Homo-oligomer: A and B are copies of this chain.
Amino acid sequence: MATTQTSQGILADSQSDTREHIIELLTKAYWMEVETVMSYIANSINPDGVRAQEIIESLETDIQEELGHARQYGERIKELYGVVPGSLDFQAEQSYLQPPDDQVDIVHVIKGVIEAETGAIDYYNQIIEFCEGKDPVTQDMVTAILHDEEGHRRLFEGFLREYQSEGLA
């Protein structure tokens, strides 16, 4: 559509198939982040207890971070001539992050977060691998997001270990 076409890099005409594939990968990543926002809102309000406060504060900070990731994915989709999907396309998948029966059951939340982050880490590694030598901009962007997710999972693994060492998980 543009009047002047780039001849180099991922935006070149010759790269349209690769671009299509990256858009697909980014679209799924986009939905993962959006669902995480939803899950973290609920899980930053529902839990009861003193120790829950630490997790609530952690998730509250993450809501903005994950929203930012979603936005980055959406904007990259746009830059690659794709379209960010509407709410009708949304499919919930984080069954492990639904509210527990008992709101003091923090271990349920911790395990859910680890599960969600693990899925994201695996998936983002695939995107990084695919982009190698094809789209360094997307690769860099996803690498930075991957770092956030790795750090976040590590933190919640630590939370889990405490409960395990107390025999509560």
A residues adjacent to B (C-beta < 8 A)? 1-9, 11, 34-35, 37-39, 41-42, 45-55, 58, 63, 67, 70-71, 74-75, 77-79, 83-88, 90, 92, 94-95, 97-99, 102-104, 106, 111, 114-115, 118, 121-123, 125-126, 128, 136-137, 139-141, 143-144, 146-147, 150-151, 153-154, 157-163, 165
Contacts and interface: CB of A to CB of B under 8 A. Distances in A.
Contact of A99 (B1, B86, B90, B103): B86
Interface centre among A63, A103, A163 (most CB of B within 10 A): A103
Given A74-B45, A150-B11, A5 B162 contact: no
A4 B161 contact: no
